[in-house]
């Protein structure tokens, strides 16, 4: 089918704001959401900082009874979905419900409730395990609850492709609409795993920053002094739909989805290949899917985790794909402010990319004071930049070597 797919609604719940306006303004202002962990005692932990969502009340987005038995990551996804649906003006009813689907990505799902339940089981026995434990834990309850709350009865799935999950969810949803299997999709990513097990696990891998005395400066992608990533949490959900439907109902259009690429590193469980070959193949696949030559891309929202290996690998990949044009690209690493939302990262960063196109503001990479070895591209250091973007790319790369790249474009009627 010769269809086009556009973004007509967005919802954001992040460490730098609840709602799209607050988050976007904070991002463009270079505000960091990183601070001391408040969820548990961190006195014995190497890393004592994270990017927590502040002042969230599930009751603001879910019926009170439902809110009490809904795990945090599920509530985040439903909240962001509600924002996105309201923003889009999409009405889901009996006439179209089976043509509206939900796909979300989530890397670790209900790790927090799993941790709490295991402790309860060990300390108090099996009779104290909640009957809601299983449905509160499994990752597919995020799209499941969105479907239940809003009546979307089309394709429904949850992806668990680590830090690429949110981007894969958007890409797979895009392809469903292109193939005519749905007319609209509620899609994106979510994560909420700021808990003892998660922080201890990543610390054991030496993956996290330990810059505890300067939380807001801890996430510093592509900077010489980067020492690891910061765990973040939240959700970014989009409404994407067939262009003809969007035009028929007079929807506003943030951007058009024009390309999607995937690849596997085939290299290591957690480390990327040093030459960035897996990421390069992924970006090339997205370009091929879009039909654009590499020099038509103006802007990249980078994966940019603030880890020594990943930032260098991604930079090398960008140089491989874009050749001399790599030095003309504007590049943001927004994880410098939001932290790394793991499976939720691709959702919020796709929205950031769409907003950069529609609003003409490119978020900065904060804490970029001294470029790291070979990290010599234009990472928009520290200060937002105004620019007109026609075509942009967003990258998400996950453990296991699973990669996703999306291309978004300014909407033109022809």
Does 414 reside within a domain?
A: no
Q: Looking at the structure, do residues 72 and 216 belong to the same domain, yes or no?
A: yes
Q: Looking at the structure, do residues 238 and 324 belong to the same domain, yes or no?
A: no
Cα-based torsion angle of the residue sequence 289, 294, 296, 301 in order, rounded to the nearest 10 degrees: 80
Does 221 reside within a domain?
A: yes
Does 255 reside within a domain?
A: no
Catalytic residue among 28, 106, 163, 282: 163
- The residue from 221, 248, 275 where one domain ends is 248
- The residue from 218, 248, 278 where one domain ends is 248
Neighbours of 134 (CB within 10 A): 14
- The residue from 248, 270, 295 where one domain ends is 248
Q: Looking at the structure, do residues 75 and 177 belong to the same domain, yes or no?
A: yes
Structure tokens at 77: 């996804």
Does 54 reside within a domain?
A: yes
- Provide the domain limits for residue 388: 260-409
Phi-psi region of 297 (alpha: psi -120 to 50; beta: other; left: phi over 0): beta
Q: Looking at the structure, do residues 267 and 241 belong to the same domain, yes or no?
A: no
Predicted confidence (pLDDT) per residue in 113-128, tens digit: 999 999 999 999 999 9
368 is annotated as an active-site residue: no
How far is residue 84's CA from residue 87's CA, in Å, rounded to a whole number? 5
340 is annotated as an active-site residue: yes
Structure tokens at 309: 């290996």
Does 53 reside within a domain?
A: yes
Query: Quick one: pLDDT at residue 264?
Result: 98
Q: Looking at the structure, do residues 180 and 319 belong to the same domain, yes or no?
A: no
126 CB burial (10 A radius; 0-12, 13-18, 19+):
exposed
Q: Looking at the structure, do residues 405 and 274 belong to the same domain, yes or no?
A: yes
- Predicted TM-score (pTM) of the model is 0.98
Q: Looking at the structure, do residues 244 and 264 belong to the same domain, yes or no?
A: no
Query: Quick one: pLDDT at residue 95?
Result: 96
Q: Return the CATH number at 303.
A: 3.40.47.10
Q: Looking at the structure, do residues 195 and 49 belong to the same domain, yes or no?
A: yes
Q: Looking at the structure, do residues 110 and 225 belong to the same domain, yes or no?
A: yes
Q: Looking at the structure, do residues 239 and 277 belong to the same domain, yes or no?
A: no
Does 29 reside within a domain?
A: yes
375 is annotated as an active-site residue: no
Neighbours of 4 (CB within 10 A): 16
Neighbours of 247 (CB within 10 A): 14
- The domain total for the chain is 2
Catalytic residue among 282, 303, 368, 375: 303
| DSSP output for 172-224 | HHHHHHHTTS-SEEEEEEEE---SHHHHHHHHHTT-B---TT-GGGS--TTBT
Does 253 reside within a domain?
A: no
Does 354 reside within a domain?
A: yes
Q: Looking at the structure, do residues 140 and 81 belong to the same domain, yes or no?
A: yes
Q: Looking at the structure, do residues 272 and 153 belong to the same domain, yes or no?
A: no
Residues of the chain with pLDDT under 50: none
Query: Quick one: pLDDT at residue 414?
Result: 80
Query: Quick one: pLDDT at residue 1?
Result: 60
């Amino acid at each position: 089918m010769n269809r086009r797919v556009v973004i007509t609604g967005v919802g954001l719940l992040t460490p730098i704001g609840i709602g799209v306006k607050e988050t976007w303004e904070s991002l463009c202002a270079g505000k960091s959401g990183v601070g001391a962990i408040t969820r548990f005692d961190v006195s014995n932990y190497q890393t004592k900082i994270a990017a927590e969502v502040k002042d969230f009340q599930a009751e603001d987005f879910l019926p009170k009874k439902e809110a009490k038995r809904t795990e945090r990551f599920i509530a985040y996804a439903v909240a962001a979905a509600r924002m996105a649906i309201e923003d889009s003006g999409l009405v889901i009813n009996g006439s179209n419900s089976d043509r509206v689907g939900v796909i979300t990505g989530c890397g670790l799902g209900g790790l927090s409730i799993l941790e709490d339940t295991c402790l309860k089981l060990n300390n108090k026995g099996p009779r104290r395990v909640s009957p809601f434990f299983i449905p509160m834990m499994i990752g597919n309850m995020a799209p499941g609850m969105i479907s239940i709350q809003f009546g979307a009865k089309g394709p429904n799935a949850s992806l668990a492709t680590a830090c690429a999950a949110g981007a894969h969810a958007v890409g797979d949803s895009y392809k469903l609409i292109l193939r005519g299997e749905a007319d609209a999709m509620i899609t994106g990513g979510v994560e909420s795993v700021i808990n003892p097990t998660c922080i201890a696990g990543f610390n054991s891998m030496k993956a996290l920053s330990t810059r505890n005395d300067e939380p807001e400066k801890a996430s510093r992608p592509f900077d010489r002094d980067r020492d690891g990533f910061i765990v973040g949490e939240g959700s970014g959900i989009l409404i994407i739909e067939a262009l003809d439907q969007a035009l028929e109902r007079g929807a506003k259009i943030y951007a058009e989805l024009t390309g999607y690429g995937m690849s596997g590193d085939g290299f290591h469980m957690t480390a990327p290949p040093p030459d960035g070959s897996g990421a390069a193949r992924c970006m090339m696949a997205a370009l091929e899917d879009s039909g654009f030559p590499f020099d038509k891309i103006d802007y990249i929202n980078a994966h940019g985790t603030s880890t020594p290996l990943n930032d260098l690998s991604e930079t090398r990949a960008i140089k491989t794909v874009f050749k001399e044009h790599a030095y003309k690209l504007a590049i943001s690493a927004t994880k410098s402010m939001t932290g790394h939302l793991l499976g939720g990262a691709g959702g919020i960063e796709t929205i950031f990319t769409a907003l950069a196109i529609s609003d003409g503001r490119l978020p900065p990479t904060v804490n970029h004071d001294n470029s790291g070895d070979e990290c010599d591209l234009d990472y928009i250091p520290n200060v937002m930049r105004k620019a007109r973007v026609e075509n942009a790319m967003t990258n998400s790369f996950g453990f296991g070597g699973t990669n996703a790249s999306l291309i978004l474009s300014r909407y033109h009627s022809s």
